Chain A
């Protein structure tokens, strides 16, 4: 089960924060197909946000084919976003860790590394990263 953290000052629409945090959980394997998302009631009781916002977020996730509502039961995860390469023990991660160590040895600090990674990501993926993705801490 995920627990949503709503940042009212982030400037990101509340429903988008829920969408992004759900995807994040799917990517990291915290949510797997068959898992139930918290009900709108549970979410709003904890976060004190508008229930329609939660429903809007779930509709968005449903539209993307990530979740499906089962009447009377709740909303369930349909497919995962976890890729083998993103898992905590994947070779790609190990390579990135190696590279980060080297960057550090070369005298780059945290901000330098982040800027460098962001610029490469932008160059290779194009401008897709939504601002809401920024705030999440690394899991691992």
Chain B
């Protein structure tokens, strides 16, 4: 794994917004993704994941703010060669054969790596002579991934790449992807709404909701910043006094018991409270259930424009 240190980070957004005719898809987004990370971009459908990825791929132009890719504007010519993008619907020419599709990559990319591309296609058991239009969804994804990996980009943007893969091919494709990341230090952003898909894969996390970033940073740090506490419910309902000095993300009451996901201000002690460390999934579920919880950015996800929350 090569240590690619890019002071500006792979992605850096500030004041980023995108408005479609039907309204704002992204608003006031600011975050930083260091180079060489495997980042999960999580959020419910319509939360702005695809818009953010399309902006990073240079397919869309921001309405407000900027999105820098390795320090350069995302629609600058130099940025294009450093980024590979697999869109959710995996656009490919249906009348091309798989071999023709790879040749397209070879003809249009100076850094093209035919061997890697062919290996990915072989790993997915897709014949080179097959017409793209005759492939199954999973096989198409495999060809799209081969295109992205053959490009030898420094950042791969994958929009729900595994949604139509069977478990075996998903494992293989993920293995190929991680091997590439291991060998070349390639950063990866994978959007998904099924976090379990990325368990053990991602080390960085972006949680989106309503066109904004709600959690950003190292997966470990985000997990470590939260506690799951269980204790007695307050008499009149509402947040018990014992939790008042912490940032409460979400509370759930069962009978006389209350379970809360909190970001502790200090040691979250208190008589009668059981404190455990939540799993990453617990944290994400907590935030997804509580759309109004305050956002959290860990230190290396902050840009100068990011309001400091944690």
Contact = CB atoms under 8 A, between A and B. Distances in A.
Q: Do chains A and B touch in the complex (CB under 8 A)?
A: yes
Interface of A: 6, 8, 11, 14, 39-55
Contact of B175 (A45, A52, A54, A55): A45
A114 to B, nearest CB: 26
Interface stretch (B99-107, B179-187, B261-269): B179-187
A42 B175 CA distance: 9
DSSP majority for the A interface?
Answer: helix
Nearest to A39: B182
Interface string B1-13: 1000000000000
Given A50-B38, A51-B1, A52-B38, A44 B179 contact: yes
B201 A49 contact: yes
Given A6-B200, A14-B200, A53-B203, A48 B182 contact: no
A4 to B, nearest CB: 12
A49 B181 contact: no
9 contacts: A6-B200, A41-B182, A43-B182, A45-B182, A50-B181, A50-B202, A51-B178, A52-B37, A52-B203
Contacts of A46: 175
A50 B180 CA distance: 11
A8 B199 contact: yes
Interface in B189-230: 199-203
Contact of A40 (B182, B200, B202): B182
A38 to B, nearest CB: 11
B174 A48 contact: yes
B182 A44 contact: yes
A8 B200 contact: yes
Contact of A49 (B37, B172, B178, B183): B178
A80 B200 CA distance: 28
A39 B174 CA distance: 17
A50 B179 contact: no
| Central interface residue in A11, A14, A41, by most chain B CB within 10 Å | A41
Taking each of B179, B183, B279, which has the highest tally of chain A beta carbons within 10 Å of its own beta carbon? B179
B289 interface: no
Contacts of B38: 50-52
Contacts of B279: 11
A23 B120 CA distance: 33
A88 B55 CA distance: 60
Contacts of B176: 45
Contacts of B37: 52
A47 B182 CA distance: 12
B202 A41 contact: no
A54 B175 CA distance: 13
A75 to B, nearest CB: 12
A48 B175 contact: yes
Nearest to A56: B203
A43 B178 CA distance: 9
A8 B280 CA distance: 13
A54 B178 CA distance: 11
B200 A50 contact: yes
B171 interface: yes
- Top-7 shortest CB links A-B: A51-B182, A44-B178, A48-B174, A45-B179, A48-B175, A41-B182, A40-B182
A51 B178 CA distance: 6
A8 B171 CA distance: 13
Given A44-B175, A50-B38, 16 more contacts: A8-B199, A39-B182, A40-B1, A45-B175, A45-B178, A45-B182, A46-B175, A48-B171, A48-B172, A48-B174, A50-B200, A51-B179, A52-B203, A53-B200, A53-B203, A54-B182
Interface in B13-42: 37-38
Contacts of B203: 50, 52-53
